């Protein structure tokens, strides 16, 4: 019982002051004030390059000579026992990798010709070839990767991070979301939602052209001076009301308006890529004014420099049920250079050491082929896939885990999505079993009742 009281009074997170305030229905303390995690963090910021649609590990990261050898044959029957596929009859022919692989860096990571830029920074990466998930449809898979649950209504990883660490910027949202590619993520806004924790922790969608934040610009006819006059008068009037009512919430509102005003000047400056030197633009492949994944990567670096805690880039384009060869080339062209450039750029600015960069999708793709005629696709596959990470105290130049000879199941060092979350939270300074939020009479966690920190991934 004593330990419980201690939590209420002194533990910074969990059943802490913040949660209690929320229970009281009040926001008197700034919920975004910077907070200390459970222990000294290795990382303070997160970038999640979310490759929505689920990239093929077999074409990019996980070279399987045996799959090549057995191309065109049926998979072993015992492999398919209890296996469910989304579109195909699981008993479909195997398809060998469509691209060439070679070894890179001192780590000797075996990567395909599709991602030369990523290959060039292989020694900075922590590659996990043994990811597994529970979901094999997009929306549930993306939700699981983002919120630790296939069901809607849970806070996202970014929201948990903000809840635990607060914000280091007062001029910008602390959790920013971009979207590029063919479409938005299958999971929709819930991928960056706050679930049952306060809404201030949800991600804010940015656009890489026009107003980055909705309603950022003054309405037509309202110039800078009028905006300032308006806010000054509003502040004085609100102050009068504060004196009359004594409600400290009015003070928070006054501050919110001031922050909004600051955001109006800081956000356009932030979004203006034309001030970046040409060699940096070239490094990312970014073109000012032309929305792209590359621009979003460069904007991400600028956001991190300005104290933004969590940036998530969705690139939904990887659902290659057909036209695998052509489309994966396009996707890699769109993402490989910029993803690698972001890592390099953060590194050269000293930001990588306390920033975690994550690259990956919601699941993998089947070793079996999908399609008729000249089949050229792969179906959804939850049993094995690859993700890579960089920075944030993770072990660089590491290739963790192995799949079986066909890339079907994980053979060694299985890392479940919950384990990944536990590990990432660990790097942010949290014991994932203690970063909790009480709801419906229960302490909820990002990792639910699962998850183990993957020590092998840590530097």
Partner 1 sequence: MGNIAMKVPYFFWASLFFLTGFCLPGVAQTQEKVDFERDVKPVLDRSCSACHGAKAQMGGLRLDAKSTAMAGGQSGKAIMPGDGAHSPLYLRTAGAGDQPRMPMGGKPLPPEQLAILKRWIDEGAAWPDGVGAQNAAVKKHWAYVAPVRPALPAVREAAWPRNPVDRFVLARLEKEGLAHSPETDKITLLRRASLDLTGLPPTAAEVKAFLADSSPRAYEKQVERLLASPHYGERWARIWLDAARYADSDGFEKDKPRWVWFYRDWVIQAFNRDLPYDQFLEQQLAGDLMARTAKSAAEAQELRVATGFLRNSMINEEGGIDPEQFRMEAMFDRMDAVGKAMLGVTIQCAQCHNHKFDPLTQEEYYKLFAFLNNSHESNAAVYTPGERKLRQQVLSRVAGLESALEKRMPDWRARLKAMSSQPGDWTTVNLAAEDISTGGQKFLEMGDGSMLASGYAPTKSRVKLQGKTAATGITAMRLELLMDPNLPRGGPGRSIKGTGALTEFEAEVAPVDDPSKVMPVKFVRALADVNLKEAPIDAIYRDKEELAGKKEPRVTGPVAYAIDGDDKTAWGIDDGPARRNQPRNAVFIASKPFGFPGGTLVTVYLKQNHGGWNSDDNQNYNMGRMRVSVTTLAEPKPVLPESFELLRERVPEWAAENAEIEKVWNGHPEGSTQLVLNERAERRMTNILSRGDFLKPGKAVEPGVPAFLHALPAKLTPDEPARLTFARWVAARNSPTTARSFVNRVWQSYFGTGLVETPEDLGKQSPAPSHPELLDWLAVEFMDGGWKVKDLHRAIVTSATYRQSSRLTPELKERDLFNRLLARGPRVRVEGEIVRDIALAASGLLNDEVGGPSVFPPAPSFLFQPPASYGPKVWDEAKGTERYRRALYTFRYRSVPYPMLTNFDTPNGDIACVRRTRSNTPLQALTTLNEPLFFEAAQALGKLTMHDGGATDRQRLVFAFERCTSRKPTAAEEAELTAFLNKQQKRFQEPGRAWTAMARLLLNLDETITKE
Site for partner 1 in 118-147 (CB under 8 A): 136-140
Instruction: Give least dist CB 94 to partner 1, A.
Output: 15
Q: Which of 330, 284, 296 is nearest to 59 (CA)?
A: 330
How far apart (Å, rounded) are the C-alpha atoms in residues 148 and 129? Answer: 20
- Which of 259, 280, 411, 459 is in the footprint of partner 1 by CB under 8 A? 259
Q: Tell me which residue of 299, 24, 310 sits closest to 194, measured CA to CA.
A: 310
User: Are the C-beta atoms of residues 389 and 359 closer than 8 Å to each other?
Assistant: yes
- Tell the smallest beta-carbon distance from residue 241 to partner 1 (Å): 5
Contact (Cβ atoms closer than 8 angstroms) between residue 375 and residue 369: yes
By CB under 8 A, residue 224 contacts partner 1: no
Q: Give the nearest distance from C-beta 402 to partner 1 in angstroms.
A: 27
Q: Does 379 contact partner 1 by CB under 8 A?
A: yes
Please give the size of the binding site for partner 1, defined by CB under 8 A. 98
For partner 1, which stretch binds (CB under 8 A), given 63-71, 95-103, 367-375, 402-410?
367-375
Number of H helices, E strands in the chain: 13, 17
d(CA 304, CA 311): 8
Q: Does 237 bind partner 1 (CB under 8 A)?
A: yes
Distance CA 443, CA 155 (A): 13
Assess 249 for contact with partner 1 (CB under 8 A). yes
Query: What is 279-297 written as a DSSP string?
Result: HHHHHHT--TTS--HHHHH
Q: Judge residue 230's burial from the number of C-beta atoms within 10 Å of its C-beta, 0-12 exposed, 13-18 middle, 19 or more buried.
A: middle
207 binding partner 1? (CB under 8 A): yes
Say whether residue 292 binds partner 1 (CB under 8 A): no
Pick between residue 336 and residue 379 the one whose CB is nearest to partner 1: 379
Residue 102 vs 151, nearer CB to partner 1: 151
Q: Does 198 bind partner 1 (CB under 8 A)?
A: yes
User: Which of residues 63 and 437 has its CB atom nearest to partner 1 in the complex?
Assistant: 437
Q: Does the protein bind partner 1 through residue 33 (CB under 8 A)? A: no
Q: How far is the CB of 365 from partner 1 (least distance, A)?
A: 12
Burial code (b: 16+ CB inside 10 Å, e: under 16) for 415-453 equals: bbbbbbbbbbbbbbbbbbebbbbbbeeeebbbbeebbeb
What phi-psi label fits residue 219: left (phi over 0), alpha (psi between -120 and 50 degrees) or beta? beta
Binds partner 1 (CB under 8 A): choice among 264, 337, 355, 366: 264
Which 3 state secondary structure label does DSSP give 257? helix
Is residue 247 near partner 1 by the rule CB under 8 A? Answer: yes
For partner 1, the closer CB: 5 or 103: 5
Q: Are 97 and 111 in contact (CB under 8 A)?
A: no
Asked whether position 250 contacts partner 1 by CB under 8 A, the answer is yes
For partner 1, which residue of 17, 27, 120, 434 counts as binding (CB under 8 A)? 27
Please tell me whether residue 266 binds partner 1 under the rule CB under 8 A: no
Angle at the Cα of 39 from the Cα atoms of 36 and 41, rounded to 5 degrees: 80
CB 415 to partner 1: min, Å: 20
Please give the structure tokens belonging to residue 177.
């979301």
Q: How far is the CB of 196 from partner 1 (least distance, A)?
A: 8
Query: In sequence order, what DSSP letters do the residues of 75-115 get, joined into one string?
Result: PPGGGGTT---SSS-SS--B---SS-EEEETTTTEEEETT-
Of 107 and 149, CB closest to partner 1: 149
Span 295-354, contacts to partner 1 by CB under 8 A: 314, 316
CB 53 → partner 1: shortest distance, Å?
Answer: 10
Q: How far is the CB of 373 from partner 1 (least distance, A)?
A: 11
Query: Does 233 sit near partner 1 (CB under 8 A)?
Result: yes
Measured between alpha carbons, how far is 65 from 214 in angstroms, rounded to an integer?
Answer: 50
Among 74, 79, 200, 458, binds partner 1 (CB under 8 A): 200
Return the number of the residue (189 or 323) whose C-beta is nearest partner 1: 189
In Å, how far are 99, 109, 176, 324 from 213, measured between CA atoms?
40, 39, 10, 35
Listed ranges 96-104, 106-114, 197-205, 341-349: which one lies at the site for partner 1 (CB under 8 A): 197-205
> Which of 78-86, 104-112, 270-278, 420-428 is the region at the interface with partner 1 (rule: CB under 8 A)?
78-86
Q: Is the dihedral of CA 440, 444, 448, 450 positive or negative?
A: negative
| 114 is an interface residue for partner 1 by CB under 8 A | no
User: Binding partner 1 by CB under 8 A: which of 73, 106, 215, 274?
Assistant: 215
Stretch binding partner 1 (CB under 8 A), from 98-106, 116-124, 405-413, 436-444: 436-444
């Amino acid at each position: 019982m004593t330990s419980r009281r201690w939590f209420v009074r002194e533990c910074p997170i969990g059943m802490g002051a913040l949660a209690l305030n929320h229970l009281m229905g009040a926001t008197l303390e700034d919920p975004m004030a910077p907070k200390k995690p459970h222990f000294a963090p290795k990382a303070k910021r997160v970038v999640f390059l979310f490759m929505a649609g689920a990239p093929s590990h077999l074409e990019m990261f996980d070279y399987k000579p045996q799959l090549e050898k057995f191309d065109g044959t049926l998979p072993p029957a015992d492999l398919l026992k209890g296996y469910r596929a989304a579109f195909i009859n699981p008993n479909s022919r195997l398809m060998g990798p469509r691209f060439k692989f070679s070894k890179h860096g001192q780590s000797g990571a075996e990567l395909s010709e599709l991602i030369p830029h990523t290959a060039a920074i292989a020694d900075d990466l922590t590659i996990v070839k043994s990811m597994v998930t529970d979901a094999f449809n997009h929306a549930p898979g993306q939700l699981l990767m983002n919120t630790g649950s296939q069901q809607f209504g849970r806070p996202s990883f970014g929201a948990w991070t903000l809840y635990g660490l607060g914000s280091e910027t007062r001029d910008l949202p602390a959790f920013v979301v971009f979207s590029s590619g063919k479409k938005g993520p299958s999971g929709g806004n819930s991928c960056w939602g706050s679930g049952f924790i306060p809404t201030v922790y949800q991600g804010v969608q940015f656009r890489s052209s026009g107003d980055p934040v909705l309603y950022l610009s003054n309405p037509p006819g309202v110039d800078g001076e009028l905006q300032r006059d308006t806010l000054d008068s509003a502040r004085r009037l609100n102050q009068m009301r504060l004196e009359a009512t004594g409600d400290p919430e009015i003070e928070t509102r006054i501050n919110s308006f001031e922050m909004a005003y600051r955001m109006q000047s800081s956000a356009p400056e932030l979004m203006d890529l034309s001030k970046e030197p040409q060699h940096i633009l070239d490094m990312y492949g970014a073109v000012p004014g032309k929305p792209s994944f590359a621009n979003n990567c460069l904007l991400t670096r600028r956001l991190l420099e300005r104290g933004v805690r969590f940036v998530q880039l969705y690139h939904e384009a990887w659902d290659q049920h057909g036209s695998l060869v052509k489309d994966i080339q396009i996707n890699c062209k769109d993402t490989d250079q910029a993803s690698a450039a972001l890592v390099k750029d953060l590194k050269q600015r000293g930001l990588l050491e306390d920033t975690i960069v994550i690259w990956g999708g919601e699941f993998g793709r089947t070793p079996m082929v999908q399609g008729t005629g000249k089949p050229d696709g792969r179906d959804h596959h939850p049993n094995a896939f690859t993700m890579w990470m960089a920075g944030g105290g993770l072990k660089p130049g590491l290739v963790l885990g192995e799949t079986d000879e066909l890339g079907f199941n994980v053979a060694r060092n299985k890392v479940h999505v919950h384990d990944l979350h536990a590990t990432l939270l660990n790097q942010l300074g949290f014991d994932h079993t203690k970063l909790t939020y009480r709801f419906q009479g229960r302490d909820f966690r990002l990792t639910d009742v699962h998850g183990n920190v993957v020590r092998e991934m840590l530097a």
